[in-house]
Structure 1
Amino acid sequence: MITKEKAKDKEKDVCCSGNQEETAETGCCSGKKEEVSEGTSCCSNEEASSAGTPAPSSEKGETREFYIRGMDCPSCAATVEKSLNKNPGIRAATVSYGTGKLAVGAYEPAVYKTIPDDVKKLGFEAVPARQDHGYETYRIAGMDCGSCAMTIEKHMGRLSSVEDVRVNFSTGNMQVLHGLTQEQILKEVKKSGFEAYPESVPEEETPAWKKGSFVTVISGVFLALGFIGSFTGVPAILVTLMYAISIATGGFKPVKSAYYAVRSKSLDMNVLMASAAIGAAIIGEWFEGAMVVFLFAVGNLLQDRSMEKTRDSIRSLMDLTPAKALVKTENGLEEKNVGDVGVGEVLVVRPGDKIPIDGKVISGTTSINEAPITGESIPSDKDIGDVVYAGTLNGHGALEIRVSTLSEDTAIAKIIHMVEEAQEKKAPTEALIDRFAAVYTPVVFILALLVMVVPPLTGFGTWGEWVYKGLALLVVACPCALVISTPVAIVSAIGNAAKQGVLIKGGTYLEKAAAVKSIAFDKTGTLTEGKPKVAKTVVFSGNEEELISQAATIESQSSHPIAEAILTYAKGKGITLQEGEDFQTMAGQGAKGVIEGREVFVGKPKLFEDMQIDFRNVQDEISRLQEEGNTLVLVGTRESISGVIAVRDTIREVTVRAIERLKKNGMKDMVMLTGDNEGTAVNIAGEAGVTRHFAELMPEDKVTAIQKLQNEGKQVAMVGDGINDAPALATADLGIAMGGAGTDTAMETADIVLMADNLEKLPETISLSKKALNIIKQNIWFSLLTKAAALILIFPGILTLWMAVLSDTGAALIVILNSMRLLRNK
């Protein structure tokens, strides 16, 4: 598997451990050095370098992997590696700069928990790589912002039986490596004030929000009774009691969560709101306290429901594949769970059914709607030998499919896995906001305490007045809207893109796509079909049918792409082949054979030049065809040339439309990279509509071309097929691979993957990323201005306590709803 590397380190080898066998998927080799692809090789343990360090042997225990962020050269990798290996608890630690991964083997499981802190001291960040073995995933209900996720993480992390825990607010998931029972995990999460559900439990069976709705309604009823009672002569003690019940019912969960947050040394919104409500009650502002609790509960419910809709953008992908498959056995058809179907088994898929697992068609023809994978709405015709994907919809024909992968390894499963990982990666803007919030909250919290104490002590106003203002400041100290301004937008955009057939591997790349000023396209297979076709024939003697028949007869013995193009052309024209004999391939020149007793040659112009055949009378025609970008195949005998067949790679139908739409989106600089000659490059560039081109490039020259564009001060995206363009994809600021549905390498190599094998989705992806960035900016500015206004209005006494809560929860809800617009982006 080709791993994305930085350009400065592209010459480094990516190595595999010595006991690995070479496979088609990994390209790794055992005990010997062997070329994998351009600029990449693999080697044995003894040959490993810091660029591709083998994982420590797991013979003495398990090995765990971490992603290391912040390394910008191989010496950084060496620094981390040397430092960790000094730790007596670590058996072996190796860092690969090329892959950005740290592999650690420790003597005790507890050591793994210290790795992130140890690496942080060195100036880098270590994030546990997602490992399926040992980890369990739970859905968390009731999280309102990123600080809630932090509270759960800290609480669970304090448990001795929990080795690693990661909670992601955006996806609503918790991944935990532990030695507890499932019941214990659920109980511990509940202690934090939240509800956890195993991933296997269906959505409809997780009714935490319904319980929250009931409690909120009860709180609201007692608040209303108290408010009405205050105007109808009800004794004050009863009114206060109503408000107290309202606070107790609606505030029980926030207070409980606040308790565990304080124990975990986390200052989240539950702490701030609980403090404000209790403080209001202490100073006799029972109505204000009850209103704080009620508005906070209502805001949380609305945020929860809105966030669930956002998270459903990915969960809906999981529902694409059927749970059962119809398997052909010796005893007839048998219905099996998809997870129980093995590789090599034969499935029967009826018309109108979804395909349950990836495989190859062995019987039947049909058209299949592949929109869930590629985003293309036009059905794709399928015949025997064609690959079909899980989750796609069979059309009119019954099929028999031989299973090629297990259910967990299907294309749709990989897409879901990668999108979930992408949503859990923080974008630069999100990380910046988190750092700001980490400073803002404690600063305002301390300011609130000073406001409560200092003015009354110095004789400025009463205690009740300043404590009230301090409580309002506590509410304003919660940066909820600001913290969720970025992740909700990113989750929405990535989820929407995935449903449209575009895989964006993280918020970082979403932001980069919006900043791209120049796009470089590989020509073959990206702008063009990648398959040569006969573009024109010129006959000098005889007729076209005879010319094509002779050429096709000779080329029928070859598997060369140009030979296949001529045979396809002959078949399309209904031209039959002739009887021939004594066929012979002339390496690098062409081929020959005997037809009707005459020796016929098919090949390059140089072949006929070497035979000293005079074709000066047709040289002008040959030169003109070459200047148009054609590859020429001459047909003739030892005496004369019968004609010329012009073959060329053709522009994809969607390429011109895609380029035009990119121009309308404001993309001014679009560059074509090709190994073809200048004449061919000029013609293809003109047809495609790109603004400029680089011709006659070797694969390594494409890297130089990308660097040249970057030296012009532009953010550059490279679009290729993810295999032979890997060095250029890695060098570019943003790597975009096409055809991810058909190749694992494309999905692994690039930052953004267009699952369909064409550029149709590229303009929409750039447009979506720009819209996402605009929404993030809107959210951030709205959140900051709301907080600034609240802070200013507190001191003149204009902003009441309940208004402060309303501004906080209202701002958070508006930010979420604004971000959700990205879900509807087409």
Structure 2
Amino acid sequence: MAAVAKVDAPETDTLRFRVEGMDCSACALKIENALKRLPGASEVNVNYGLERLSLRLDEDRTPRAAVEAKLRALGYTARPLAYDDARVPEGIHGEDGAEQGWWRTRKGRLVLGIGALLGVAFGASAFAPSLAQASYVATTLVGLVPFGRRALAGARSGTPFSIETLMSVAAVGAVAIGAAQEAAVVVFLFAVGEFLESVAAGRARAGIAALVRLLPRVARVEDRDETVREVPVEHLSVGDVVVVRPGDRVPSDGEVLDGDSELDEAPVTGESVPVAKGVGDTVYAASVNASGVLRVRITRTAADNTIARIIHLVEEAQGSKAPTARLIDRFSAYYTPAAMAVAVLIMTAPPVLFGADWYTWIYRGLATLLIACPCALVISTPAAIASGLAAGARRGLLVKGGAALETLGGVATVAFDKTGTLTVGQPRLTDVVAVEGGEDDILAKAAAVERGSSHPLGLAIVAAAEQRGLAIPRTFGGGVALPGRAVKARLREGFVSVGSPRDAAERGILPEGILARLEALAAEGKTAVVVTLADRAVGLIALRDEPREDAAEGVARLKALGVRAVMLTGDNRRAADGIADALGLEAKAELLPDAKLAAIGELRAAGPVAMVGDGINDAPALAAASVGVAMGGGTDVALETADAALLRNRVVGIAELVELSRATLLNIRQNVVIALGLKGVFLATTLVGTTSLWMAILADTGATVLVTMNALRLLRFRPQATEDLGAAAASPGAAHYTPNQDPAGLRAHQRSADPRSVTASAARAQPSHRR
């Protein structure tokens, strides 16, 4: 048995484990209850999302081996973790990060095994009826072995009425009354549910590994003699000077000492265009250098840079979610023992107190036990959840488990990221302002300069010119990029440049009255560039990341459902207000990942919150929200961190998720009423002697059939039609906003910097080229 690694003094009694197979809050609660009962155990902290366990242990009272033995008895595999003060999570580069085929996992093999036995039993019922009962009994007993062991271990460790206990009692009771087929199906469905929880939890854990993979493994460090050598990023120290070439990722947070360039900060801040960087500017780990060479002084080590902090925000947000007990688990804690007690009372009380006939009341007590058999109750919730998940998947609404599906129906607020979520995530041409000549002429000249550009703004300008069918002039010698200022090329008429308003202002070529137009464009959240010819400003071109075609409809549908809609974005205030006003929702702007996380916390004070995002910078907020929803075209990290995903990239999908959740919750309540209501009716008839044992069996079997059929109705789920939403959908602030056609399938997960002034806005918006 491997020894558990301990932290150095004074934390000599802190143990840390990775607990494999811990996939839900019920698992976490079971482990907590068991370990808290061990003498000398304290500060038990279980994070099922990360499969992590830590506790303080007085080894004079309880040896470490007892902790491992207790976890094994509960059905989990515990692997010791060495203490590491680094902020990067353990194990993501080793075997922990390796993906394993689902059929090779323990739960996957269990599902396949029970499914195969169930198939054999079905075959026997069709071709060898005499063997059918024995086949179903064998399937049930084999499938019950792992669950029964866990139920017994939980009972001995402080969780006597766990979900395993309830399911085991239901299956054994069904076998005892001759409903072996029903028992076998219950065991199989329970195994499938456990397996799906395991898959969803594993996918969520993979998101953290994706975050770490954004960081480069080596950095180019410049020594005092100006020689450059490559070192692992974890060896960087504060004060080191690194060289970042075009195309390289910044190895850690730092300050630019020399050079001008533009950085794609999409992984960190969500900038909608690359951000100009010069001497004295801050750069973030994992940002991609677009053009010039930069010399950067490191200000944070790899263990404490922005990406590392985001990783820990995700971990802490996942761990801070309060364990949510499944409905059936909570109820079973009272239902099962109460049912048994009532049956015993029915058998004994009348004969003892009133001298009634023992046979009659024992018979009625047995009928009560059969009526109380919780098969229908066990199936009521998972059957509805399974149908709801399937109905959602058919409409491109991926929900990673029943807990998330239940939570969605009760959200009070939906918080949206902007870039790539409410918007298409790419700049599009919105305005052409001609100072000299016509609009088409200005756009054609700009497209000539930008032709061959890899910059999102340049691509959008060229695509817009091509869409209009303009004849793009030929350049002589190609374009020349002036980092941080403009890009210039020679045309037949002379030199033409496309650059920032700040550059044009510094050159003194902005004509009278143009500043007001630039301010107006900036107020609408648009990025403007100035087109010059022979040192004369001849026009302006404005671009903006436009809303998705269904964004306004999606917001209106949420309002019609009584759900508040808020936009949380790292973009500047003007850009955020421009989009928010068009869509009719609130906006909180200029939020870095930690600020988004704090905003989610504030919103949760008013009720459950759903966060919708698509970028890496959204991952902490997605994890911290009551339920996180990712756009299907978003980053892998957002998809893995979120509890649900909109695979069709439709904003109205979030309203459909809320409707689906509410329909599922209603179905669950109906199922519970059916299951318990029928039992209540038959209990009353049993007490007056009109229910036989066969009728008691029928009560449970009939309830199971009704519950299953009711759950299957969810497969026909259709969202509420837009025209039926009422006056809320027609509010003036939610007018339908139709953006221009996607010019080039571009994608930019960045946000534009704050245009607090025209020159500041344009300085960060002008194009960049790599030649």
For the residue of structure 1 that corresponds to 2:648, the secondary structure is coil
Distance 1:94 1:429 in 2: 17
1:557-706 alignment to 2 at 5 Å?
Answer: 558-572=453-467, 573-581=469-477, 583-596=479-492, 598-637=494-533, 639-664=535-560, 666-687=561-582, 689-706=583-600
Match 1:736 to one of 629, 632, 638 = 629
1:470-481 alignment to 2 at 5 Å?
Answer: 470-481=365-376
What is the aligned partner in structure 2 of residue 437 from structure 1?
Answer: 332
Q: State the AA in 2 paired with 1:531.
A: Q
TM-score with structure 2 length normalisation? 0.59
Deviations 1:743-766 (A, max 9, x none): 532331111112233325333222
User: 5+ residue gaps in structure 1?
Assistant: 1-44, 57-62, 88-92, 120-128, 139-164, 168-172, 177-185, 187-194, 220-248, 278-292, 315-425
Distance 2:544 2:140 in 1: 68
User: 2:174 aligned with 1:268, yes or no?
Assistant: no
1:745-756 alignment to 2 at 5 Å?
Answer: 745-756=637-648
Distance 1:800 1:748 in 2: 53
Deviations 1:669-721 (A, max 9, x none): 1112234443332332233x23211233334332233233223x131111111
For the 8 Å contact 1:69–1:100, the answer to whether it is kept is no
Alpha-carbon offset, residue 566 of structure 1: 1.0
For the residue of structure 2 that corresponds to 1:648, the secondary structure is strand
User: 2:116 aligned with 1:197, yes or no?
Assistant: yes
For the residue of structure 2 that corresponds to 1:516, the secondary structure is coil
Q: Structure 2 vs 1, CA of residues 506 and 270 (structure 1 numbering), >3 Å: closer, same or farther?
A: closer
For the 8 Å contact 1:215–1:250, the answer to whether it is kept is no
Alpha-carbon offset, residue 661 of structure 1: 3.2
Match 2:351 to one of 446, 456, 475 = 456
For the 8 Å contact 1:553–1:580, the answer to whether it is kept is no
For the residue of structure 2 that corresponds to 1:579, the secondary structure is coil
Q: Structure 2 vs 1, CA of residues 270 and 702 (structure 1 numbering), >3 Å: closer, same or farther?
A: closer
Q: Structure 2 vs 1, CA of residues 455 and 785 (structure 1 numbering), >3 Å: closer, same or farther?
A: same
What is the aligned partner in structure 1 of residue 317 from structure 2?
Answer: none
User: 2:447 aligned with 1:552, yes or no?
Assistant: yes
For the residue of structure 1 that corresponds to 2:668, the secondary structure is helix
TM-score with structure 1 length normalisation? 0.55
Distance 1:661 1:485 in 2: 30
Distance 1:108 1:466 in 2: 47
RMSD (Å), alpha carbons: 4.9
Alpha-carbon offset, residue 618 of structure 1: 3.0
Moved more, 496-505 or 773-782: 496-505
Q: State the AA in 1 paired with 2:630.
A: A
Deviations 1:617-652 (A, max 9, x none): 333333333333321111124653211112111222
1:162-173 alignment to 2 at 5 Å?
Answer: none
Distance 1:84 1:721 in 2: 46
Alpha-carbon offset, residue 586 of structure 1: 3.0
Distance 1:690 1:750 in 2: 25
For the residue of structure 2 that corresponds to 1:174, the secondary structure is helix
Distance 2:140 2:622 in 1: 46
For the residue of structure 2 that corresponds to 1:498, the secondary structure is helix
Select the structure with the greater relative contact order (CA < 8 A; seq sep ≥ 6).
2
Match 1:717 to one of 604, 610, 615 = 610
Distance 2:661 2:622 in 1: 19
Q: State the AA in 1 paired with 2:357.
A: T
Q: Structure 2 vs 1, CA of residues 685 and 723 (structure 1 numbering), >3 Å: closer, same or farther?
A: same
Alpha-carbon offset, residue 611 of structure 1: 1.0
Alpha-carbon offset, residue 429 of structure 1: 5.8
Moved more, 755-764 or 645-654: 755-764
Alpha-carbon offset, residue 543 of structure 1: 2.5
Distance 2:390 2:16 in 1: 33
Distance 1:98 1:207 in 2: 36
For the 8 Å contact 2:26–2:323, the answer to whether it is kept is no
For the residue of structure 1 that corresponds to 2:22, the secondary structure is strand
Moved more, 788-797 or 263-272: 263-272
Q: Structure 2 vs 1, CA of residues 499 and 592 (structure 1 numbering), >3 Å: closer, same or farther?
A: same
- The percentage of aligned residue pairs carrying the same residue is 34
User: 2:52 aligned with 1:101, yes or no?
Assistant: yes
What is the aligned partner in structure 1 of residue 692 from structure 2?
Answer: 800
For the residue of structure 2 that corresponds to 1:536, the secondary structure is strand
For the 8 Å contact 1:611–1:638, the answer to whether it is kept is no
Q: Structure 2 vs 1, CA of residues 673 and 252 (structure 1 numbering), >3 Å: closer, same or farther?
A: closer
Distance 1:197 1:777 in 2: 33
Q: Structure 2 vs 1, CA of residues 435 and 132 (structure 1 numbering), >3 Å: closer, same or farther?
A: farther
Alpha-carbon offset, residue 511 of structure 1: 0.9
What is the aligned partner in structure 1 of residue 72 from structure 2?
Answer: 113
Deviations 1:583-624 (A, max 9, x none): 432333322333347343322221111112352233333333
For the 8 Å contact 2:415–2:609, the answer to whether it is kept is yes
Distance 1:457 1:111 in 2: 43
Distance 1:256 1:587 in 2: 71
1:141-152 alignment to 2 at 5 Å?
Answer: none
For the 8 Å contact 1:254–1:270, the answer to whether it is kept is no
Q: State the AA in 2 paired with 1:518.
A: T
Distance 1:131 1:809 in 2: 44
Q: State the AA in 2 paired with 1:773.
A: L
Alpha-carbon offset, residue 727 of structure 1: 2.0
What is the aligned partner in structure 2 of residue 386 from structure 1?
Answer: none
For the residue of structure 2 that corresponds to 1:580, the secondary structure is coil
Deviations 1:469-519 (A, max 9, x none): 122112123122112111111112122323332321111101111111211
For the 8 Å contact 1:80–1:95, the answer to whether it is kept is no
For the 8 Å contact 1:613–1:638, the answer to whether it is kept is no
Distance 1:271 1:569 in 2: 69
